[in-house]
Amino acid sequence: MVSRTTDDYESMALAGCAAICEPAFWAGFDRKSADGFYDYFCQLTRHEPKRAAKYGIPHYSWLCINPKEAEDIGLAREVMALIPEFLQAPNVLGIGEIGLNKNTRNELQILEAHIDLAVQHKQLILVHTPHLEDKRKGTRLILDILKAHGKVNPERVIIDHVEEHTFREVVEQGFWAGITLYPESKASPQRAVDMLESISAQRVWLNSACDWGHSDPLAVPKAALEMRRRGHSVEVVDRLIYQNPLQFLSQCAKFKDPGVIA
Amino acid sequence: MHFMEARSKLLELAAFLDRVERATGAPDYRIKGLQSALPLLLKDGTERVATILHHWSDPTINPADKAETKAASGVWSGIK
């Protein structure tokens, strides 16, 4: 949400958004120093929750250096050294979105270091799978690394941006699967519902991308509408867009059920 | 079932290919990749999307030595 206006917060609040989980992301340009990331982590953990609170939405975040900036191993390690300090922040859910972009050796090295960091600090893990033609290969490399680690519990990992050719592999290996909705570059609400009707999966959720590129903060409610149009019950929709995220995120003690008034 | 939406998107694809045909410039491997997926639409079954995504995917298994670019193009450049 750091690249979104308050209009988007208002639209999401009006559409019934109960909580926002914002991953550390590539800014669209490479940051030149660890100091730039320090400021970004402050923005994610201190400033953005205040913006969201003005619209009554709890804001959570994930921290990492995104795979798009992981090719510079030296910078990546400097940034990772900052993360433990921020893991104490009340809105941090875990490490993410880590993963791969162009499936390089350097990206793999930093992915493994992030996984170690998450295990060491008992954090949930959010994984970004690569884009377009790189997704299938990258997803397989990521699954191999996670399985080979030995101390990663798949129930505490969500593999994000699955599509029709990667969804089955992810859920069959016990991980949570995230279907990210995008107007063009990933799944549409219609395709997401098709996937859910075709492949039986318990550990799955949908997410709207709200980044600086072509994306739609209201994509999840649009997918919910698509499900209702197709005759899915309110309970089935609620399981997918509310109960499932709640089940996964509640593994982090800092996450509070937005439906429970304190 | 979104028939009109699918009809519209098919016409948009046809218009895009016409536009490419009229354009000048060097050939683009992505167009070839797009065209090579079209016969897959006519196959029987219910996994056309997955089949096309597999068709466009990088089939190699070893990590790359270095990233030449940050962006993905949408179609693996080695498609014949």
CB neighbours (10 Å) of residue B9? 11
Four-residue CA torsion sign, A187, A188, A192, A197: negative
CB neighbours (10 Å) of residue A18? 16
Residue A65 has phi, psi (to 5 degrees) of -105, 125
A141-154 pLDDT per residue, tens = 999 999 999 999 99
Domain contains A127: yes
Q: Which of A62, A54, A65, A59 is nearest to A6 (CA)?
A: A54
Domain contains A68: yes
A64-80 pLDDT per residue, tens = 999 999 999 999 999 99
Q: What is the mean pLDDT of residues A6-23?
A: 97
Query: Which residues in chain B have Cβ-Cβ distances shorter than 8 Å to A140?
Result: 61
Verify whether the Cβ–Cβ distance A194 to B49 is below 8 Å: yes
Q: Which of B58, B63, B73 sits opposite A104 (nearest CB)?
A: B63
Q: Which of A105, A164, A194 sits opposite B63 (nearest CB)?
A: A105
Structure tokens at A41: 């982590």
Whether the CB of B45 is below 8 Å from some CB of chain A: the reply is: no
Question: Do A25 and A67 touch, CB atoms closer than 8 A?
Answer: no
Domain contains A115: yes
CB neighbours (10 Å) of residue A235? 9
Domain contains A79: yes
Structure tokens at A197: 């009707």
- Rounded to the nearest integer, the mean pLDDT of chain B is 95
Domain contains A235: yes
Q: Which of B54, B65, B66 sits opposite A165 (nearest CB)?
A: B54
Domain contains A259: no
Domain that holds residue A141: 6-249
A29-44 pLDDT per residue, tens = 999 999 999 999 999 9
pLDDT at A201 (0 to 100): 86
**Count of structural domains within chain A:** 1
Q: What is the mean pLDDT of residues A50-60?
A: 98
A175-197 pLDDT per residue, tens = 999 999 998 899 999 999 999 99
Verify whether the Cβ–Cβ distance A107 to B67 is below 8 Å: yes
B45-62 pLDDT per residue, tens = 999 999 999 999 999 999
Q: Which of A192, A226, A197 is nearest to A207 (CA)?
A: A192
pLDDT at A139 (0 to 100): 98
Whether the CB of A68 is below 8 Å from some CB of chain B: the reply is: yes
Q: What is the mean pLDDT of residues A110-122?
A: 98
Verify whether the Cβ–Cβ distance A104 to B67 is below 8 Å: yes
A205-259 pLDDT per residue, tens = 999 999 999 999 999 999 999 999 999 999 999 999 999 999 999 999 999 999 8
**CATH number of the domain within which A49 lies:** 3.20.20.140
Gap between the Cα atoms of B71 and A85, Å rounded: 31
Taking the whole predicted model, whether its pTM rises above 0.90 is answered as: yes
Whether the CB of B13 is below 8 Å from some CB of chain A: the reply is: no
Verify whether the Cβ–Cβ distance A136 to B47 is below 8 Å: no
Whether the CB of A132 is below 8 Å from some CB of chain B: the reply is: yes
Query: Which residues in chain A have Cβ-Cβ distances shorter than 8 Å to B65?
Result: 104-105
Gap between the Cα atoms of A105 and B7, Å rounded: 43
Verify whether the Cβ–Cβ distance B67 to A133 is below 8 Å: no
Q: A170 Cβ partners below 8 Å, 6+ apart?
A: A139, A143, A159, A162, A177
Q: What is the mean pLDDT of residues A87-103?
A: 98
Whether the CB of A137 is below 8 Å from some CB of chain B: the reply is: yes
To the nearest whole Å, the CA of B29 is away from the closest chain A CA by 13
**DSSP helix, strand, coil percent of chain B (3-state; round to 5):** 55, 0, 45
Structure tokens at B45: 């079954």
Question: Do B36 and B57 touch, CB atoms closer than 8 A?
Answer: no
**With 70 as the cut, is the pLDDT of residue A262 above it?**
no
ipTM tops the 0.85 cut: yes
Whether the CB of A165 is below 8 Å from some CB of chain B: the reply is: yes
- Please report the residues numbered 70 through 89 in chain A whose beta carbons come closer than 8 angstroms to any beta carbon of chain B: 71
DSSP state of A130: P
Domain contains A261: no
Whether the CB of B29 is below 8 Å from some CB of chain A: the reply is: no
Verify whether the Cβ–Cβ distance A163 to B53 is below 8 Å: yes
Whether the CB of A136 is below 8 Å from some CB of chain B: the reply is: yes
Q: Please report, as a single letter, which amino acid is at residue A247.
A: Q
B26-43 pLDDT per residue, tens = 999 999 999 999 999 999
To the nearest whole Å, the CA of B54 is away from the closest chain A CA by 6
Give CA angle at A180 (A57, A114), nearest 5°: 85
pLDDT at A261 (0 to 100): 62
Domain contains A143: yes
Compute the count of residue pairs across chains A and B with CB atoms less than 8 Å apart: 74
Question: Do A23 and A128 touch, CB atoms closer than 8 A?
Answer: yes
Four-residue CA torsion sign, A87, A92, A95, A99: negative
